[in-house]
Amino acid sequence: MTQGSPFGLSPNLHHLETSATIAISQEAKRRKAAGEDVIDLGAGEPDFPTPAIAADAGVRAIRDGKTHYPANEGILELRAAAAKHLSLLSGGRPVNADHIVVSNGSKQSLFNVCFSVFGPGDVVAIPAPAWVSYPQIVHLTRGRPVLVPGDPEWGLKLSVRDLDRVVPGAQGLILCSPCNPTGSVYTHAELKAIAQWARARKVWVIADEIYRRIHYGPGPAPSFLDLPDDFLERVIVIYGVSKAYAMTGWRIGLALAPAKVAKAMAALQSHTTTGANHPAQWAAAAALGDERVEQDVVRMVAEFRKRRELVVSRFRQELPGVEFVEPLGAFYFFFRVDSFGGISGTEFCTRLITSTGVALVPGGAFGDDRWVRLSYAAATEQIEQALDRIVGFAKKLSD
């Protein structure tokens, strides 16, 4: 029965809204196709091509007939490459390939893990601002997402004190570091404190580390996998190739989970997708397993770093009163707009695209509409031009 919905749709979908980030990028594409002069700094999608070695491995897999159903949990070659890769990123710690499940993008990994560990009424804490899909995914499990506001003095991150204050009885926590939308990165000590808090309260931690390689400090960003095993009994790490390997369209994501959860996730997708796209798994195995791809990642991250510096320095020089989060990872710049006469993020973005053609994402999509997100995963010339327009627009607002 479909009680409670005037349209006859299931109550499963009561909270469902289209992803705002995807919607904005589609709107920008639509305007471009209609001949408008649009610069899209809305989408969080690298503009680089997939590294040739990974792309070739995908093509080869198709030619070699790797075109049949894969194993539910993913091909062993990819899981083994991912285990080795994650181990190397965390100083050689053991990582068990049997605890890795491959899905169609880390978005599906997130859905599968949430669906496997949360159920009706479960409270899931989400530091806010938060990436659009987390609350939606929790709603789809019939759980209750609770946004816990981060501290503006602290890169919009939160502490265990905030968690205890806002969600003392939570069953879960979804933590994204490096963070989409803020660019903040939790330190090793902060992750450890959160892991201790979660262990003591038997809280599932879903650690979205998809941006781990895109870090502007030394090495990869700190990870839950840098902690000893006894901290990780209820931690699921989400990883993938979309961002650092510029492979968004291949749709491959990974989860490293305790054995019981990994098994449930694989069983779940045995009924929904029969595993992830088979040839794409070979491409991802090459991305994570072939050492030569590392040079591509280093080059792309260096390029993101330059773009980050460009955005930060232009905001500092040309819009000195505007508050922003110092970006330490990912490819997002999160700045505050309410100082422009109390304008909301939504109004700022609507007026900006209409009058200048620049697409950004209002902070409201992430739970706080005093802010706006700019993605610098775009060509430098595009970013420069967009900044000219944003600065001009913001100065007019202040006049």
19 binds, among ligand PMP, ligand GLU, none (CB under 5 to 8 A by kind): ligand GLU
Closest approach of ligand PMP to the CB of residue 277, in Å: 12
Neighbours of 58 (CB within 10 A): 25
The entry of ligand GLU, ligand PMP, none that residue 224 binds, CB within 5 to 8 Å by partner kind: none
Q: Which one, 18 or 313, has the nearer CB to ligand GLU?
A: 18
- 74 interacts with ligand PMP by CB under 6 A: no
| CA separation for the pair 138, 121 (Å, rounded) | 10
Q: Which does 22 bind (CB under 5 to 8 A by kind): ligand PMP, ligand GLU, none?
A: ligand GLU
**Residue 327 lies near ligand PMP (rule: CB under 6 A):** no
Out of 105, 150, 155, 172, name the contact with ligand PMP by CB under 6 A: 105
Q: Which does 253 bind (CB under 5 to 8 A by kind): ligand GLU, ligand PMP, none?
A: ligand PMP
Among 78, 203, 210, 328, indicate the residue that binds ligand PMP (CB under 6 A).
Answer: 210
Take residue 239 and report the two structure tokens written for it.
């990883």
- Pairing label, strands 235-240, 253-256: antiparallel
Sign of torsion over alpha carbons 292, 298, 299, 300: positive
**Among candidates 237, 252, 255, which has minimal Cα distance to 282?**
252
Distance, CA of 337 to CA of 321 (rounded, Å): 10
> How many residues bind to ligand PMP according to rule CB under 6 A?
13
Q: How far is the CB of 272 from ligand PMP (least distance, A)?
A: 15
Q: Which ranges constitute the DSSP H helices of the chain?
A: 20-33, 52-63, 76-89, 106-117, 133-140, 160-166, 188-201, 259-272, 278-289, 293-318, 345-356, 380-398
The one-letter amino acid code at 274 reads: T
> Cα(first)–Cα(last) distance of the chain, in Å?
57
Give the Å distances, CA to CA, from 382 to 276, 349, 358, 359, 387: 34, 17, 10, 12, 8
Residues of this chain, 122-151, that bind ligand PMP according to CB under 6 A: 131
Q: Of ligand GLU, ligand PMP, none, which one does residue 155 interact with (CB within 5 to 8 Å by kind)?
A: none
To ligand PMP, the closest distance from the beta carbon of 108 in angstroms equals 7
240 binds ligand PMP (CB under 6 A): yes
Where does this chain bind ligand PMP (CB under 6 A)?
A: 44, 105-107, 131, 176, 180, 208, 210, 240, 242, 248, 253
